[in-house]
């Protein structure tokens, strides 16, 4: 995923289960499971409606003002890319 903002969306087939200490994503088609920490949960919830990556990064930056914006941007883009690679997220093609 590039630094250029693109819109991402949740794969509607993915099961999201929030627990006391995090959350899990489950893809029933592949059997793949992914653990999410608090930041990951926030990002996942932001993606419930198709959202641009720069808006996601801004939301996370406001939650963690003590972290350098460049670090947050890099980490968020890497996380979103991983979720797309595993099939948990997709690109929104409908403008």
Give the pLDDT confidence of 55-92 residue by residue, as tens digits. 999 999 999 999 999 999 999 999 999 999 999 998 65
1 found inside a domain: no
Task: Categorize the per-residue pLDDT at 1 as very low, low, confident or very high, splitting at 50, 70 and 90.
Answer: low
Q: What is the pLDDT of residues 9-50, one digit of tens each?
A: 999 999 999 999 999 999 999 999 999 999 999 999 999 988
- Predicted local distance difference test score (pLDDT) of residue 61: 95
Question: Can you give the pLDDT at residue 94?
Answer: 45
The boundaries of the domain holding residue 82 are 7-90
- 2 in any annotated domain: no
Per-position b or e across 35-60, b if 16+ CB within 10 A of its CB:
ebeebbebbbebbeeebebeebbebb
The answer as to whether 59 is a domain residue is yes
The answer as to whether 86 is a domain residue is: yes
In 1-95 the beta strands, taken as DSSP E runs, fall at: 7-10, 15-19, 22-26, 33-36, 51-52, 89-91
Query: Is the distance from CB of 42 to CB of 88 less than 8 angstroms?
Result: no
- When divided into structural domains, the chain yields a total of 1
CATH for 45: 3.90.930.70
């Amino acid at each position: 995923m590039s630094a250029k903002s693109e819109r991402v969306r949740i794969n509607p087939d993915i099961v999201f289960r929030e627990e006391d200490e995090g959350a899990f994503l489950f893809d029933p088609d592949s059997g793949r499971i992914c653990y999410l920490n608090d930041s990951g949960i926030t990002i996942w919830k932001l993606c419930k409606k198709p959202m641009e990556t720069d808006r996601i990064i801004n939301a996370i930056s406001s939650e963690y003002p003590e972290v350098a914006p460049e670090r947050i941007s890099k980490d968020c883009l890497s996380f979103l890319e991983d979720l797309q690679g595993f099939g948990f997220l997709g690109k929104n093609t409908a403008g």
